[in-house]
Amino acid sequence: MPTNIRLAKRKNSELIKLVSLKAFKLSKLILIMLKAQLTLETVIMLVVLLVLAGVMISLILTTLKPPTSPEKILSKQEFLVQCETYCNDPERVAEYCRLYWGGNDWNGNKVPYEIVQVGAYQWYACEDRIYCFLAKPCDRLGTGLELLKKCRDVLCGIYLDKYEDIELATEALKRDINFSKRCDFASVPSDENWYERIFESCETVGYPGETPTRTPTTTQPPPLPPSPPQG
């Protein structure tokens, strides 16, 4: 446990003990004074003080909580291992596609929100969200653009099943796959901009299990040869 949390807990415990002791002594004083047949005004005043002591204890319990530990950000190595784990589990494909590294300094130069190139394919990415499918390809699902399309199809399929509406499914897809507006992703060359090419919409995916309808073509029989002349 971090030192600052231990110190905060110890301090809170000491304060609670102190206030509790004061309240106990005050209650004993009230009993002694009641036995001495004090005036009604004095008794009321002492009761008010006792209530205030209880309020103080309540405030300490509710406001002086030890600081919570900040959410741990995976190291890059831990992140890549997690990506591989999800990749190898057929039940966690969607988690593989959604998982990103949020350390916001992939290249370690202490400048956040930069556009960097990551992974075997050197995809452009914003440092605030380095996705598994960019940094740790999953050959089981596909390679290159095919992997990105597979992730789009998997996520869109989930949301099309859930909402049965392409616009709502697209909104959900973009909540999963996006990056900060502080990243100048528009500066990425259009032929390298995987986000605009792949994740702009669920419209091209179609509903899960749906097959495109085709109008059957009918083949006309060849014309009959002319009848031989009679004669």
DSSP output for 133-157: HHHS--TTT-STHHHHHHHHHHHHH
Predicted confidence band at 207 (pLDDT cuts at 50, 70, 90)? very low
Domain residue extents for the chain: 3-63, 76-198
Distance CA 94, CA 176 (A): 10
Query: In the predicted model, is pLDDT for residue 39 greater than 90?
Result: no
Model pLDDT for residues 140-187, shown as the tens digit of each residue: 999 999 999 999 999 999 999 999 999 999 999 999 999 888 988 888
- Write the burial class of residue 26 (CB in 10 Å: 0-12 exposed, 13-18 middle, 19+ buried): middle
Where residue 121 falls (left for φ over 0; alpha for ψ -120 to 50; beta otherwise) is alpha
For residue 52, what pLDDT is reported?
Answer: 73
For residue 223, what pLDDT is reported?
Answer: 52
Lookup: tokens for 98: 């959604």
Helices marked H in 36-139 — which ranges? 40-63, 76-87, 93-98, 132-135
Model pLDDT for residues 174-185, shown as the tens digit of each residue: 999 998 889 888
Could you tell me the CA-to-CA distances from 58 to 16, 43, 99 in Å, in that order?
A: 9, 23, 41
Distance CA 100, CA 1 (A): 27
For residue 88, give the nearest of 43, 140, 145 by alpha carbon.
140
Predicted confidence band at 231 (pLDDT cuts at 50, 70, 90)? very low
Helix 3-35 to helix 40-63 angle, to the nearest 10 degrees? 170
Query: In the predicted model, is pLDDT for residue 208 greater than 50?
Result: no
Residue position matching structure tokens 């600052």: 4
Position with higher pLDDT, 140 vs 69: 140
Distance CA 46, CA 76 (A): 61
Q: Compute φ and ψ for 101, nearest 5 degrees.
A: -95, 125
For residue 228, what pLDDT is reported?
Answer: 55
Predicted confidence band at 73 (pLDDT cuts at 50, 70, 90)? confident
